Amino acid sequence: LDLLKYYNRRDSLSTLKGCLLLADRVVIPAQLQPRVLRQLHTGHPGIVRMKALARSYAYWPGIDKDIEDTHSYWCNGEVLQRVGRVLYKVLVGDTSWIRHANQLRKRAYDSTHMPHQDLDVLFEMFDLKRSPSAPPLQPAPISTEQHVHQQAQPGNDEDQPRRSTRTRRPTRRLHMDPHQKSYV
């Protein structure tokens, strides 16, 4: 145990039945820290909740950084279905998780897997014939005149600003009366 790291917190340290405590948290020795991190990470609570759990039960110098380092990787998963407006059911390994859209990331391709292979999978899935000598499909470039003409059409959804569908109350202005003592 490197005692110099605990010197600034020496007034908060105590022992109870042979356990070293910092206030009401157990000080975890370096040999047990990976085990505690694995315990905190079970159920994949998310980094914010994981830090909150750790801060309420355990302590060691640099615990936040250790949690960030263990939680910094992303698991590959497959979105099974959408649940509500922003939640998704995701298959990760053998278990399914419910995750918020902010917790999902588009899959990045590694050097062995190229994006055009996904098109091959679709052709196989739907039993479509594809000539072996056919070049990979690429979108045709849009000329400037076509692009300007597309933007000028009133039915084009790209030009319409996104607006919320919720109804909003009109704003109430505060009219200041310097002679009035209270507005409650």
Model pLDDT for residues 135-180, shown as the tens digit of each residue: 555 555 555 554 444 444 555 555 666 777 788 888 888 777 778 7
Beta bridge partners of 83: 87
pLDDT of residue 130: 63
Place of tokens 């998704």: 88
3-state secondary structure 86-105: CEEEEEECCEEEEEEHHHCC
- Quick: pLDDT tens for 51-110: 898 989 999 999 998 988 875 566 778 889 999 888 999 888 888 888 888 888 776 555
pLDDT at 121 over 90: no
How far is residue 37 CA from its own chain's centroid?
A: 19
Q: Is the pLDDT higher at 126 or at 81?
A: 81
pLDDT of residue 44: 72
Q: Give the torsion through C-alpha atoms of 8, 11, 12, 16, to 10 deg.
A: 130
Helix (H), strand (E) at residue 13: strand 13-16
**CB under 8 Å to 33, separation ≥6 — which residues?**
60, 66
pLDDT of residue 95: 86
pLDDT of residue 128: 64
pLDDT at 111 over 50: no
Q: What are the CA-CA distances from residue 177 to residues 170, 174, 182 (Å)?
A: 22, 9, 10
- Quick: pLDDT tens for 9-60: 889 999 999 899 999 999 999 999 999 998 888 877 778 888 898 989 999 9
pLDDT of residue 41: 81
